[in-house]
Amino acid sequence: MRAAEISVHIEPYRFCLDSVGTVLAGILREKAANGADVRIILDKSANSEEDMQKLKKLRKDGAMVNTFHRPAFFLDRWIPKLATHRNHRKLLILDGRTAFIGSRNIQDKYFFDWHDADVRITGPVIADLTEAFHGNQRNIGLHRQKPLYVAPDLEEAARRDTMPGLEQFFDVPIQVVPEYPTDRNLPTRNCLEWALNHAKSYFWYYNPYSPPPMSTIEALQNAARRGVDVRWIAPSITDIQPERGIAESMYQGLLEAGVRFYEWQGHMMHAKQYLSDDYLTIIGSTNMDNLSLFLNYELLAILYDGRICRRAAETFQHDLETHCLEITLEEVKRWLSPRKWRNWILRILGGPLA
């Protein structure tokens, strides 16, 4: 962000003005004051009124700061933290040539304690990510604003790109999948289920929230039954208390089909990352749950590259060995009836909004 000269377009689900957020807000203020095109889209349900009002003061320096929310019925007024049609995307575009997407919000815990996953992208796909950002500008009535800047010669700029200290991969086919609640084609759910239905060797994923829709549960079960190595890393500690019981309500059925469960030990596991067959890596803001797949605005990048997938698979295996505890079918069957009843009730009550 400090190196940006022309534009900074940022769409964080949550922007908390703690230590990390204060530093980033200061950079945004400086860039806007120096004439850069700074645009910020904040989700209304995820941010405190105090933080939003402070961020809106960046308008005095020339930044465009807008709130986004499309509430369902009365939820926005009465239970805003459960409100649907949230803008859950995490996107940062710098100078129209470099982008970051993933699962990380702007708040100290996402940088220091929680486990998240992000990807830095350059090249022609920046035009698609810019269009996704512009799509949400249109959703909040900013379609008449000046066009977003996209750098010329994106392919050549990507070939010259360097990032010391980070492993980089060039010539990677990338597909951007923006999710809109109004899109009845359900592109994100279909992408995940397509990957499951076509997996031959393995399908491994990090996913913090559940439950998935029934069609996705069936795809997980079918993949495991035909011999695919299906593994799910879920958090053992969650920031949404009913979530643990909702997830546990699915364990037995999936374990019986052959899916293997691992719980991340320690701080919250918040990554949304999916790997398959040494060729496919999916990363972004989308959880494998009903909110992400049906009700929220989300954003995924699908990377078709064996090098990246194998590298991510090595990290996944390392995480299994160093941070995770496997949950077995025998263990789940030994759970007492009150725990099973609690999980079932939470699934019924909380499943549609999980």
> So what's the pLDDT on residue 184?
87
Alpha-carbon torsion 220, 295, 67, 238, what sign? negative
Q: Which two tokens stand for residue 311?
A: 């590298």
Strand order in the sheet with 229-235: 174-179, 298-304, 280-284, 273-276, 202-206, 229-235, 260-264, 324-327
> So what's the pLDDT on residue 77?
47
CA neighbor of 310 nearest in space, from 270, 353, 275: 275
Residue 225 DSSP SS3: helix
* Regions of the chain with pLDDT less than 70: 70-84, 143-144, 350-354
In tens, the pLDDT along 55-111 reads 999 999 999 999 987 555 455 444 444 556 889 999 999 999 999 999 999 999 999
Dist CA 282 CA 191 (whole Å): 9
Is there a contact between 285 and 102 (Cβ–Cβ < 8 Å)?
yes
Q: Which two tokens stand for residue 247?
A: 């997830």
Dist CA 153 CA 198 (whole Å): 35
> So what's the pLDDT on residue 243?
84
- Number of other residues whose CB lies within 10 A of the CB of residue 226: 11
Dist CA 14 CA 32 (whole Å): 20
Domains and CATH numbers, the chain: 7-160 (3.30.870.10), 180-353 (3.30.870.10)
Burial state string for 126-138 with b = 16 or more CB within 10 A and e = fewer than 16: bebbbebbbebbe
Dist CA 347 CA 253 (whole Å): 14
> So what's the pLDDT on residue 191?
96
Dist CA 132 CA 77 (whole Å): 28
> So what's the pLDDT on residue 71?
55
